[in-house]
Amino acid sequence: MAILRLENGTAYTDFNDISRELSSLKVDLNSWSVGNDAEVRQLLAKDVLSNEEKETILQAVDRYFEELKAKGGYQTRDLIAIHPDIPNLDAMLSKFDKCHTHADDEVRYIVAGDGIFGFVRPDGSQVELTVEAEEYINVPANTEHWFYLTPKRRVKAVRYFTSTEGWTPQYTDTEIRLGGLAINH
């Protein structure tokens, strides 16, 4: 279940409340089932996946990709599997834990694990959204945000792209203020 935390410590878990709080950002959050296929569920429980295993998971949820292609012109998708044993994990993640934007939408479907997206709202306030398994998020292009893992340090996410360009982080130098919610990352 998604959890949105405001700087003042208020937390929301209801999708309607979260959507209301994120409306100024036009962030789209939804719940998508990965289904009940036993093989897919077993693969989602593994840390390390072969390319063939990743493709099995992708094909199991491609109905969503077909919708995104039809509605938004998405062209490609892949599956990223992050876990604590990845060499140089902290260096890889450090690209995203600072305020940045992208020229393209950042679209993720979390199929296992969880991660935290932080946002700078138009009024300058900041919020953090924990996105969990079977949740989809679309962060619109040019939205100032950051990302880090929860202490479990595990996430599997389908990434959707309209092109191969536009996904390089453009850092904004905005200071992240997490108030009492600060987590070392």
- Domains, the chain, with CATH or none: 3-168 (2.60.120.10)
Torsional class of 86: left (φ above 0), alpha (ψ -120 to 50), beta (otherwise): beta
0.85 cut: is pTM over it?
A: yes
User: Among 22, 108, 24, which residue's Cα sits nearest to residue 64?
Assistant: 108
Residue pair 169/93 in contact (Cβ under 8 Å)? The answer is no
Task: For residue range 111-139, list pLDDT tens digits in order.
Answer: 999 999 999 999 999 999 999 999 999 99
Q: What is the mean pLDDT of residues 13-26?
A: 96
In this model, does residue 185 exceed pLDDT 80?
no
